[in-house]
Structure 1
């Protein structure tokens, strides 16, 4: 179904300039996505230079200019107040890159940044990813809107949750953004600007560092060096079934189950049910059993999760290389059902495993020993 004819928008955000669209206003007026019939070649291979290598280990440019900085849990999640993402200096961007790599996800409330500025900020960290099937705002193909509400199925007279990519039945589960690409995302910037009432619509992130650490040493040894297939074929098939163009050929690549972060040099568990399909070299029974064990481990790892309650105009920035996340659709049965935002996703290096890399637990223990000397 084609998106409704766009109305003349009223600027809600003083940060939106003449000639730019206000996608929050579009969302308030209804479903606004464009699905162009445009095809793209395969994403080009590139050498990723992570700006976290240029950061100050103390991250003074960020911390000294913030009004408040605090960790939400010991293992994942930091919140920073008093910083506007659309005003960062290059050094602050570098320091932020390191902080995200270390903490997994960082939150900024009351942000004025708009999608045009989001594109500019994201491009500092790597090439911007264009989603293979997702709709986008007019003229903003690198921006993936997040738009959920409840559509009434007339034949059944029940509320059926649908998603904004394809309007197919909502898929709920842990995932790392488009991990099926050859060079999957490094960072995702997500701004939520419409919330479903006073409660509901939280997001949970899981730390890949701590998820690895919580496995027994024997299981850690068993999965190190193993590789798994990550696939976007199902996502593409679902979009095609609803008449949307699949922009690139079906995407499927092989990545390590444990990967090394290029900046922190730490090991992280890198599997999730969203796109991980099978383990190379194992039969189906073995692969399914081991993956299910790891999926259950991630979902049940409450001591390495952070659950975040959004406020309007909050931005979360996370490192897909060392986290997975899941949205909570607990608001779809309430009277206030619309949740909207937009995301920018940057590509990074091809996942790899360095046998010489260390675990987060190992590094922490080494630091404690040094401090006690």
Structure 2
């Protein structure tokens, strides 16, 4: 996968990757993160979003794009591993069906995507725009000339991810940039360099975590909205961390604590430790009691989770509206690189599960 990646065969014949620190001949050096100091953008403007999955509901067979594929369910609540689908050659109808499958199964792990990954940044952006307006991250690194591509990067000496070092664990469940007025929907991530082992990504179904709560408590949560803030992330960068840039001034937006998916109609928890700050209208102690209970519930809900292992040429798609996720930083003592590219189409403003909740 790269000039600095060692590929070996296990006794069982499986392919493993061992990524080393990038050198000048690193195949994906053009995709390493940059942080231009003069790069600034105005506030995001609202836009109309129609999820492509809506169209697939009208297809005679909404899963036709999987007709020649091998599909394995990863867990009952969420997740499918798919082999035999080429993301790079999907027709518009097949992309609609893909969007519906992501909405229904929450997380798709697609193997054998060399064609897609090797087509490069211009193709990735064109592909991503089918699913929504592409997001430019306000603080993360991106490849030179491609601000719409979000990069995750860590080697033994540096990290350009937003990670909290004041907790005993590095796992931080989050929904990407939930502080935006219109956060992402279908999201894609792939790694071009990965540790030999470790560095997986874990997801949890926020539909299932919600179902574990009592009906009376769910009814109460439907009356609440919470503020989601980008300020802490921006201040982390302004303090010289990550890449030290803030491309767009931070925002705070209020979203329902329980949101409704626009295509499936499923209801899901929509709070996360990284960006949710307060229950609107409640005093600090009251808000903390509710949010900390929900955070702890999400943390412990192993029966709602699915773990994606990064094999070569894997693309993971997930629905950011109804899942939370975290990288697993269990490889940090290795001389390894974890270098990933995320394509992040924005979706609609979160729809309250309670139609009487005013935003």
In structure 2, the partner of 1:155 is none
> What TM-score comes out, normalization by structure 2 length?
0.85
Counterpart among 125, 135, 157 of residue 129 in structure 1: 135
Inter-partner Cα distance in structure 2 for 1:141 and 1:31: 11
Task: Note if 1:88 corresponds to 2:84.
Answer: no
In structure 1, the partner of 2:319 is 319
Q: Cα offset for 1:244?
A: 2.7
For 2:339, what is the secondary structure of its paired residue? strand
Inter-partner Cα distance in structure 2 for 1:26 and 1:283: 52
Cα distance change of structure 1 residues 27 and 132 upon mapping to structure 2, 3 Å threshold: farther
Task: Note if 1:149 corresponds to 2:155.
Answer: yes
Cα distance change of structure 1 residues 40 and 57 upon mapping to structure 2, 3 Å threshold: farther
In structure 2, the partner of 1:227 is 225
Inter-partner Cα distance in structure 2 for 1:279 and 1:24: 49
Q: How many pairs does the alignment contain? A: 327
Task: Note if 1:59 corresponds to 2:62.
Answer: yes
Inter-partner Cα distance in structure 2 for 1:29 and 1:121: 22
In structure 1, the partner of 2:11 is none
Inter-partner Cα distance in structure 1 for 2:127 and 2:332: 32
Inter-partner Cα distance in structure 1 for 2:30 and 2:247: 25
Inter-partner Cα distance in structure 1 for 2:80 and 2:160: 28
Query: Is 57-66 or 78-87 further displaced after alignment?
Result: 57-66
Task: Note if 1:46 corresponds to 2:42.
Answer: no
Q: Cα offset for 1:61?
A: 2.6
In structure 1, the partner of 2:338 is 339
Inter-partner Cα distance in structure 2 for 1:167 and 1:307: 20
Q: What RMSD over aligned residues (CA atoms) do the two structures have, in Å? A: 2.7
> What TM-score comes out, normalization by structure 1 length?
0.82
In structure 1, the partner of 2:203 is 205
Cα distance change of structure 1 residues 310 and 167 upon mapping to structure 2, 3 Å threshold: closer
For 1:238, what is the secondary structure of its paired residue? helix
In structure 2, the partner of 1:239 is 237
Identify unmatched segments of 5+ residues in structure 2: 6-22
In structure 2, the partner of 1:163 is 159
Task: Note if 1:75 corresponds to 2:77.
Answer: yes
Q: Cα offset for 1:116?
A: 2.5
CA contact (8 A) 2:31 2:143 kept: no
The 5 Å alignment of 1:272-291 reads: 272-291=272-291
Q: Deviations over 1:245-303 (max 9, x none)?
A: 31111111100000000000111111110101111121111111111110111111111
Inter-partner Cα distance in structure 2 for 1:267 and 1:194: 36
CA contact (8 A) 1:190 1:341 kept: yes
Inter-partner Cα distance in structure 2 for 1:131 and 1:194: 21
Inter-partner Cα distance in structure 1 for 2:331 and 2:199: 6
Identify unmatched segments of 5+ residues in structure 1: 1-8, 13-22, 152-161, 358-373
Inter-partner Cα distance in structure 2 for 1:25 and 1:346: 31
Cα distance change of structure 1 residues 128 and 136 upon mapping to structure 2, 3 Å threshold: same
CA contact (8 A) 2:154 2:161 kept: no
In structure 1, the partner of 2:175 is 176
For 1:346, what is the secondary structure of its paired residue? coil
CA contact (8 A) 1:168 1:238 kept: no
Inter-partner Cα distance in structure 2 for 1:73 and 1:33: 34
Inter-partner Cα distance in structure 1 for 2:347 and 2:238: 27
Task: Note if 1:298 corresponds to 2:298.
Answer: yes
Inter-partner Cα distance in structure 1 for 2:102 and 2:172: 22
Inter-partner Cα distance in structure 2 for 1:25 and 1:38: 28
In structure 1, the partner of 2:110 is 108
In structure 1, the partner of 2:191 is 192
